[in-house]
Structure 1
């Protein structure tokens, strides 16, 4: 399976924060912006306030997995930034998935199924 393309440059993160649309939910904050490419890119931000390295890495892994599983139903050509919140590492997967799906719907990133 192909690995997701990630956002790594600081200026790209700053641009998403400043000019991207956002959806704030209890377990995750999602920023998005058109990137002019044929594929989506992912950025993940986890603050040190969330906890020690093990907790932060767990939150990162969970957010990356949500993005990976939703790729086939997302519109293409977007930069997506996921910001972990206090609940991200501790809440049940079903709650995290529900919040993430709700954020995608609010931002209009979910592609409609064509019959």
Structure 2
């Protein structure tokens, strides 16, 4: 994932979350905010309740790989993806299907 597609700064996360536009599923909580670019930007957050650092980083890598080809768009959105505990109850393919279905909305 290129740097221009990533939301990293805390103030950017807070601005997107304070917009209060979100999509809620069993596996993810996705906050949205329209941006001024022609591409989407993503931020990934995995809480400490999910597991230790190794597990959290594995989940982040999996989500980045799910989003690899989903950046071109006519109007861009900043999106914060928060992973929930039920992420582990599904397989990788099911999680990918759920995430991409919700992002396309």
TM-score normalised to structure 2 length: 0.83
* 2:54 match: 54
Query: What is the DSSP-based 3-state SS (H/G/I as helix, E as strand, rest coil) of the residue aligned with 1:99?
Result: helix
1:84 partnered with 2:60: no
Q: Distance in 2 between matches of 1:79 and 1:20?
A: 13
1:45 partnered with 2:45: yes
Q: State the 4+ residue runs in structure 1 displaced beyond 6 angstroms.
A: none
* 1:96 match: 95
Q: Contact 1:55–1:89 at 8 Å: present in 2 too?
A: no
Query: What is the DSSP-based 3-state SS (H/G/I as helix, E as strand, rest coil) of the residue aligned with 2:69?
Result: helix
Q: Contact 2:45–2:80 at 8 Å: present in 1 too?
A: yes
Query: What is the DSSP-based 3-state SS (H/G/I as helix, E as strand, rest coil) of the residue aligned with 2:43?
Result: strand
Structure 2 alignment gaps of length 5 or more: none
1:26 partnered with 2:62: no
Over 3 Å counting, the alpha-carbon distance change for 1:27 and 1:70 in structure 2 is same
Structure 1 alignment gaps of length 5 or more: 109-115
* 2:13 match: 13
Q: Distance in 2 between matches of 1:10 and 1:75?
A: 26
CA-to-partner distance for each residue in 1:29-56, whole Å, 9 max, x for gaps?
1111111123221101111111101110
Over 3 Å counting, the alpha-carbon distance change for 1:75 and 1:31 in structure 2 is farther
